[in-house]
Amino acid sequence: MENGYRASSGLRIDSVTLDRFYVRMDRNEFSFDDALEKINRAIRPHQLSFREISWFSKFAVKEGVAEKFFVNERVFLAGDASHVHSVNGGQGLNTGIADAFNLIWKLNMVLNFGASKDILNTYEAERKPVAHSVIDSSGELVRSTKYSATGTHAQDYVKIVERRSGNITGMGIRYGESGLVGSRMFDLDVHNGSEMTRLYSLLDYTKFTLLIFDGNDIEIEVPSFVNVIRINTSESVQQYWTTYSSFSNQAVLVRPDSYIASVVPLTNLGSLAHATSDHNRGSFVFWNGASAGLQKNGDPFHCGDVKTL
């Protein structure tokens, strides 16, 4: 389509802001004109005409989740290979990338940092339930375009999006059932002296990040796969600081894929060395699994001089 398209009322629609239509046809054989007729019926009294069509294709909705996400710790499925569903909610690509992110740091830990291969089991344990939840969301959305008890398809659709927004945006996806551990670290505002930045701009996504709130006096040694960022919860001229105070005097260990692995008071930093979180949920195996070959003294977090500010 070239430079947008024009509705017959004279309203110009810019292709930058509105550039594709999904049209549910309910039959296998149809032409572009059939699809256009359906669009025009839906937007009456306006009428669309296209100067040029750059892409037109047909697809059928399928729903399914692979039985296994990996075989013999060698073959891994991610993205559409492990889950397919309707396009409603726009979650396919996001979910696939999140699969890859979840997997890749675990492979890195096994291949380069001596972590136990057991950590790879958590890939399927964490991502398979997510795949099912995405299918539930996109399935409910696509079915609502066809079936509505009250004939209020559009309103029904919006309500489902609102109800499932955490799942649809991905920000509400968590591993495990409750609490901070297993939830996604959110992108809090961080000031760098007088400059404003955001936490996500500071994270090194190839590493774990240990966020130490209000712990400038604490000396700590960490393994090479951990990046340490110190953030004050009061204004600071030369250091990172935030007005978000819920993590005051705490340390938050964030996985490379931005999920919280552990939250501990600063007085208990050494416990991170054993922050396996919750084996029962099978989700957050971390230091214990990764310990062989990592530590000089059996404790990857060697804290000197721990002080509570």
Choosing from 4, 66, 79, 264, the residue that interacts with ligand FAD (CB under 6 A) is 79
Contact yes or no for 286/261 (Cβ under 8 A) = yes
Give the one residue of 87, 107, 161, 229 binding ligand FAD; rule: CB under 6 A.
Answer: 87
Decide if residue 192 touches ligand FAD (CB under 6 A).
Answer: no
Stretch that binds ligand FAD, among 91-99, 183-191, 246-254, 278-286 (CB under 6 A): 91-99
Neighbouring residues of 104: CB distance < 8 A, sequence distance ≥ 6: none
Tell me the window of 86-94, 174-182, 284-292, 296-304 that interacts with ligand FAD (CB under 6 A).
86-94
Give the number of C-alpha atoms closer than 13 A to the C-alpha of residue 67, restricted to the C-beta side.
1
How far apart CA 182 and CA 205 sit, in angstroms, is 17
d(CA 309, CA 299): 24
Q: Which residue is nearest to ligand FAD (CB)?
A: 79
Query: Which of residues 30, 50, 65, 80 is near ligand FAD by CB under 6 A?
Result: 80
**Is 93 a binder of ligand FAD (CB under 6 A)?**
yes
139 binds ligand FAD (CB under 6 A): no
Which residues, 6+ apart, have CB-to-CB distance to 171 below 8 Å? 184, 186
Residue 61 CB, shortest distance to ligand FAD, in Å, is: 9
Sequence-distant (≥ 6) Cβ neighbours of residue 281 within 8 angstroms: 175, 176, 177, 182
Q: Which of 6, 7, 96, 170 binds ligand FAD (CB under 6 A)?
A: 96
55 binds ligand FAD (CB under 6 A): no
Decide if residue 92 touches ligand FAD (CB under 6 A). yes
The yes or no reply on residue 221 touching ligand FAD (CB under 6 A) is no
Tokens of 195: 């400059």
Contacts of 147 (CB under 8 A, 6+ apart): none
Nearest 5 degrees, angle CA 188-CA 230-CA 295?
Answer: 120
Rounded to the nearest whole angstrom, what is the least distance from the CB of residue 54 to ligand FAD in the complex?
14
Provide the Cα torsion 261, 265, 269, 270; round to 10°. -100
User: Near ligand FAD by CB under 6 A, which window of 32-40, 84-92, 121-129, 152-160?
Assistant: 84-92
Does 170 bind ligand FAD (CB under 6 A)? Our answer is: no
Binding site for ligand FAD (CB under 6 A): 59, 79-81, 87, 90-94, 96
